[in-house]
Chains A and B, each alone.
Chain A
């Protein structure tokens, strides 16, 4: 049905058909593509190619699966002047992302007592699960929001949640300009009020484990990564604050008729230069800054937990990097020999700048930026380095991608079975709901190794290190 044509290793073109403004580009090995349910996600890749102002390709990463309008694992760049901004191309969880930190202790040096205490302490310090937050604290008021949006993650650092040196290790230095609290509804502000510094539910997590393998020693050395070292991986986003911004915008765009003529109304999109497009971009930036601060505060809770249990100073737990994987960003890329300002939508995809990219801090300007790829809670997660691939607007994959529905995963496990099974695999899991653990079991996901290998084969990012989870806190 889709007639994919291979043009390079792990790179396929979906031919341009009537209505599509550009062809599709699918990253993946033949083996991966054969084992996926591809029909619906590829139809979404095709639909995205209808959007006004799209440049180059409608792109899918190897962890693609069916999403809201755009596939998850989708990338699309729009001309900044003539293109559109689509909230469905960013996702509900605006600036959902991942951050990686390393702890100056080998994981094998932790006793069982340390591991149990760590997990319990983190679980106590960092709210997780449905509706969990800092309910008994004052919460965010209007001036807090204003300050946070004008400073990005520095706002939290100035209040003692982390260190100045963290800023160089966060995508866009933890700040998306242009945010305006005036573009955010009261209900969004209410929803976010007590949620800053909390993980949320679903597939969000805090994971602790050991660096299990180094693929690229020179890059790993430059970043201070060693085999056996303890790592912390955090996955969360902008919580109810971001969800509400997406919802408010979709409601408005639908009422204004911006879905007219599109093959799927979930792609609803306003011209970037329109008042409505600009309003969404201001609100999206607000949510993006909320999410950076959220992950900063979660890491702070983890740092304090290591201090409490093992006496490790918070500043000795080094942030390696923080990436966004649900966002639209204005970037300059060369296309057909001309430099163009583009609005790059990455939904379930990670920016993967190579060496020399202007935005990167000095260390990463030399090496390329870290690309963080969480897998599932049993097998592995990966650390990669971006190659600045021009075909994908310097993008790479964001995770393993689901292979099995939540219903099927849940039905496969009863009672405490998931916890016991994970323990038998050397992974201790804590969550507010056992159902969440059942839904997130390793067999619900594709093999992340195959996904990162496809990205490496396609020249999007190189594998630097593999990480094996041992302690996992789920929402």
Chain B
């Protein structure tokens, strides 16, 4: 390959409570797991790095949350990868519009993103062939996921990627160190996102909680959010048990310099 040519793609960095053990296969390293936004293939890096100065900034400052809802084998005929499909829990309209606009921008700049007219399929590739499809299907369990930071990845071969450029996007939450309980810093751009990201943070610790998530319509304050989260914990405990006692009324919603919101959530366990 010519020195200025690289195999490139844009993708979001994915975080999930990945199982310690997955079925046999050529597994992607945890740090390489991503959602592809646009696949470019072999590309002139000099040309792209120039274009990146006018890169279309995402309209969202905080990454989105979702869940892996089923196992997929891609492409459908003669599959060579195992992927987990993402069902979004956050409102995804802005992301879908951005993906379309981003693809158009690449085309305008003279690049050739792969399958630009096809419906975008958000998924995370976990493994390349050879694999046992039945085993992957049988052992699949729905898990929460979030994404942060948009990267330009270079494919190094052998399912190894390295980020050569990135645009920062806040994660929906970060786990914090807390002596007695468990704690998270929750980020969002609205009360709705704060409650969604708080639920997902809880589901990272206890994935079965995903089955009890409910849409919340009336949110006026942090107290409303805490009451909703505690109702989720109660309903889950009643149905299957739950490791959380409650989310505390600790802390305040803080507006950050970039106008996003953050809240330190402490969970009594």
Is B227 close to A, CB under 8 A? Answer: yes
Partner of B249, one of A268, A402, A415: A268
Kindly state the separation between the CA atoms of A268 and B223 in the bound complex, as whole angstroms: 13
Kindly state the separation between the CA atoms of A408 and B230 in the bound complex, as whole angstroms: 25
Chain A residues in 8 Å Cβ range of B177: 405, 407-408
Kindly state the separation between the CA atoms of A179 and B144 in the bound complex, as whole angstroms: 41
Asked whether A243 lies within 8 Å of B180 as measured between CB atoms, the reply is no
Q: A92-B268, A405-B177 are in contact. Are A68 and B242 (CB under 8 A)?
A: no
Which residue of A66, A259, A403 has the most chain B CB atoms within 10 A of its CB atom?
A66
Asked whether A65 lies within 8 Å of B179 as measured between CB atoms, the reply is yes
Size class of the B contact interface (CB-based, 8 Å): 20 to 34
Is B101 close to A, CB under 8 A? Answer: no
Q: A65-B179, A408-B177 are in contact. Are A130 and B246 (CB under 8 A)?
A: no
Min C-beta distance of A187 to chain B, whole Å: 5
Kindly state the separation between the CA atoms of A65 and B181 in the bound complex, as whole angstroms: 10
Min C-beta distance of A243 to chain B, whole Å: 5
Chain A residues in 8 Å Cβ range of B227: 251
Chain B residues in 8 Å Cβ range of A405: 177-179
Asked whether A201 lies within 8 Å of B249 as measured between CB atoms, the reply is no
Asked whether B250 lies within 8 Å of A266 as measured between CB atoms, the reply is yes
Chain A residues in 8 Å Cβ range of B91: none
Is B241 close to A, CB under 8 A? Answer: yes
Kindly state the separation between the CA atoms of A37 and B249 in the bound complex, as whole angstroms: 22
Is B237 close to A, CB under 8 A? Answer: yes
Kindly state the separation between the CA atoms of A67 and B234 in the bound complex, as whole angstroms: 21
Interface flags, A184-207, vs B, CB<8A=1, else 0: 000100110000000001100000
Interface flags, B225-264, vs A, CB<8A=1, else 0: 0010010001001101111011011100000000000000
Asked whether B223 lies within 8 Å of A403 as measured between CB atoms, the reply is no
Asked whether B269 lies within 8 Å of A406 as measured between CB atoms, the reply is yes
Kindly state the separation between the CA atoms of A244 and B235 in the bound complex, as whole angstroms: 10
Is B48 close to A, CB under 8 A? Answer: no
Asked whether A407 lies within 8 Å of B182 as measured between CB atoms, the reply is yes
Chain A residues in 8 Å Cβ range of B181: 68, 406
Kindly state the separation between the CA atoms of A72 and B266 in the bound complex, as whole angstroms: 15
Kindly state the separation between the CA atoms of A243 and B181 in the bound complex, as whole angstroms: 15
Is A443 close to B, CB under 8 A? Answer: no
Partner of B246, one of A92, A129, A190, A255: A92
Q: A92-B268, A131-B241, A406-B269 are in contact. Are A247 and B234 (CB under 8 A)?
A: yes
Asked whether B269 lies within 8 Å of A37 as measured between CB atoms, the reply is no
Which residue of A has the minimal Cβ distance to B269? A202
Asked whether B180 lies within 8 Å of A72 as measured between CB atoms, the reply is yes
Is A394 close to B, CB under 8 A? Answer: no
Task: Determine the main DSSP class of B at the interface with A.
Answer: loop
Kindly state the separation between the CA atoms of A35 and B55 in the bound complex, as whole angstroms: 51
Interfacial residues of chain A within 375-429, with CB under 8 A of chain B in the complex: 402-408, 415
Asked whether A65 lies within 8 Å of B249 as measured between CB atoms, the reply is no
Asked whether A406 lies within 8 Å of B246 as measured between CB atoms, the reply is no
Which residue of B206, B243, B245, B268 has the most chain A CB atoms within 10 A of its CB atom?
B245
Kindly state the separation between the CA atoms of A129 and B241 in the bound complex, as whole angstroms: 9
Is B175 close to A, CB under 8 A? Answer: yes
Q: A201-B243, A243-B245 are in contact. Are A191 and B268 (CB under 8 A)?
A: no
Is A437 close to B, CB under 8 A? Answer: no
Q: A68-B268, A132-B241, A247-B230 are in contact. Are A37 and B248 (CB under 8 A)?
A: no
Is A93 close to B, CB under 8 A? Answer: yes
Min C-beta distance of B111 to chain A, whole Å: 41
Chain A residues in 8 Å Cβ range of B175: 407
Kindly state the separation between the CA atoms of A5 and B240 in the bound complex, as whole angstroms: 50
Chain B residues in 8 Å Cβ range of A190: 238
Min C-beta distance of A332 to chain B, whole Å: 32
Asked whether A187 lies within 8 Å of B179 as measured between CB atoms, the reply is no
Which residue of B has the minimal Cβ distance to A243? B245
Min C-beta distance of A165 to chain B, whole Å: 34
Kindly state the separation between the CA atoms of A445 and B183 in the bound complex, as whole angstroms: 18
Is A265 close to B, CB under 8 A? Answer: yes
Chain B residues in 8 Å Cβ range of A68: 181, 248, 250, 266, 268
Chain B residues in 8 Å Cβ range of A66: 178-180
Kindly state the separation between the CA atoms of A133 and B237 in the bound complex, as whole angstroms: 11
Min C-beta distance of A107 to chain B, whole Å: 31
Q: What residues of chain B have their CB less than 8 Å away from a CB belonging to chain A?
A: 20, 175, 177-182, 206, 223, 227, 230, 234, 237-238, 240-243, 245-246, 248-250, 266, 268-269
18 A-B residue pairs with Cβ-Cβ distance under 8 Å, sorted by A, are A65-B179, A130-B206, A131-B241, A131-B242, A133-B241, A187-B234, A240-B237, A244-B234, A247-B234, A255-B223, A266-B249, A268-B249, A402-B179, A404-B179, A405-B177, A406-B178, A406-B182, A407-B178
Q: What residues of chain A have their CB less than 8 Å away from a CB belonging to chain B?
A: 37, 65-69, 72, 92-93, 129-133, 187, 190-191, 201-202, 240, 243-244, 246-247, 250-251, 254-255, 259, 265-266, 268, 402-408, 415
Contacts A132-B241, A255-B223 known; 4 new A-B pairs at CB < 8 A: A93-B245, A130-B243, A191-B238, A407-B182
